[in-house]
Structure 1
Amino acid sequence: MKANRMEAFSDGVLAIIITIMVLELKVPEGHSWSSLVGLVPKFLSYAVSFVYVGIYWNNHHHLLHTVRTINGKLMWINLLLLFSLSLIPFSTAWIGESNFSATPAALYGIVLLLAAVSYMRLQYEILKQHSSDSDFVVVMGRDVKGKLSMLLYLISIIVAYLNSWVSCLIFVLVAVIWFVPDRRIERVLRNKS
């Protein structure tokens, strides 16, 4: 099987995830600007989650350009990543509905940590297809942003019970770190052509 089938399936799942998230934003009963005030926490959680799904979509797209062969193990790891990401709409709705309370914030951090670990595992499995001195292995092996993100998610889960707002700021910080797409793969592909 070619990587484009797995990428197309993943793109479809990510599109559905975003659709589910936006459907959680219910229209207010009032007809004035003030009636939107109650939606601010829900919209903020949606906006951050939208950015996260976009970041995963972008990096997943680049990562799949390095795949040499698709096998069952790779497909299952990709499904684990998609499963993790499919939990984002639930955790997004809960954290927005609860006005960023401690347990929903901790769950949001757990979901993001699970997605990060799954992505790291997918990346590792794909890199195993290349020789250890390959340009891809060299540049991807230094995944400082990925490792830092997982550490920050762990911190945010603990901090959620001390101050859920600080926990949420950590989520935003990680999103800002990743907002600029990971250019490592692009550079290697550009150098090869």
Structure 2
Amino acid sequence: MTTNRLEAFSDGVLAIIITIMVLDLKVPIGDDLMSLKPYLPKFLNYLFSFIYVGIYWNNHHHLFQAIEKVNGGILWSNLYLLFWLSLLPVSTGWMGENFHSTFPVAFYGFVLLMSSIAFMIIEKVAVKQEGRESIIGKSVSQNIKEIGSSIGYIFGIIISFYKPEIGVIVYGIIALIWLIPDKRIEKTMR
């Protein structure tokens, strides 16, 4: 089976995730700029999570450009990724309400960590199916960025128990690293 249906389904789920996150934002009470102040942490957290969903959407798109055929393992591993990403609205809302609190920040990091691991699982399953000499096999053989991100999330989770704000900064740094799309697949496809 080709990747078209899987990509369309995943795009739809990611769009719903963004919609749920934006619906959690409330309309400010008042008509001046100061009425936005109480909503700023929640909006910034929404923006943060929106960027993360965009990063996953972008890298997911690139990944499935290199995967030629989908099997049951890829379908299930993709659903595993979508499960963890679907928890972003809950973790985003909780952290947005409790920006300086340990457990919301640690939970947010845990969701990011599990999403990262789930993405690596898709890569591994795809390489197993298509082989190390395939486009996907050659593209993801060096996964330093993914492993480094997972280690960063673990560090962010741990540091959240001491200084939640630093945990958020760690998650932000990881997002900045991923804002530059992963070029490995494009290089291999040339």
Q: After TM superposition, is the score higher than 0.5?
A: yes
Aligned mates of 2:138, 2:67 — CA distance in 1: 15
SS of the residue 2:129 aligns to: coil
Quick check: 2:127–2:134 contact (8 Å CA) kept in 1? no
- 2:180 corresponds to: 180
Quick check: 1:45–1:92 contact (8 Å CA) kept in 2? yes
Between 25-34 and 168-177, report the one with greater CA deviation: 25-34
- 2:125 corresponds to: 125
- 1:82 corresponds to: 82
Matches within 5 A, 1:109-120: 109-120=109-120
TM-score, L = length of structure 1 = 0.95
SS of the residue 1:128 aligns to: helix
SS of the residue 1:69 aligns to: coil
Aligned mates of 1:37, 1:85 — CA distance in 2: 28
- 1:60 corresponds to: 60
Aligned mates of 1:16, 1:94 — CA distance in 2: 18
Q: 1:148 to 1:95 in 2, by over 3 A?
A: same
Q: Name structure 2 gaps, 5 residues minimum.
A: none
- 2:151 corresponds to: 151
Quick check: 1:41–1:100 contact (8 Å CA) kept in 2? no
Aligned mates of 2:131, 2:156 — CA distance in 1: 36
What's the offset of the Cα at 1:174? 0.3
Identity score, percent: 46
**Structure 2 residue 162 is matched with structure 1 residue 162:** yes
Aligned mates of 2:2, 2:134 — CA distance in 1: 21
Aligned mates of 2:71, 2:134 — CA distance in 1: 21
Aligned mates of 2:13, 2:112 — CA distance in 1: 17
Q: Name structure 1 gaps, 5 residues minimum.
A: none
Aligned mates of 1:169, 1:63 — CA distance in 2: 27
TM-score, L = length of structure 2 = 0.96
Between 22-31 and 50-59, report the one with greater CA deviation: 22-31
Matches within 5 A, 1:23-62: 23-62=23-62
Quick check: 2:102–2:161 contact (8 Å CA) kept in 1? yes
CA deviations over 1:36-69 (Å, ceiling 9, x no partner)? 0111110111111001000000000110112222
- 1:171 corresponds to: 171
Quick check: 2:67–2:136 contact (8 Å CA) kept in 1? no
What's the offset of the Cα at 1:135? 5.0
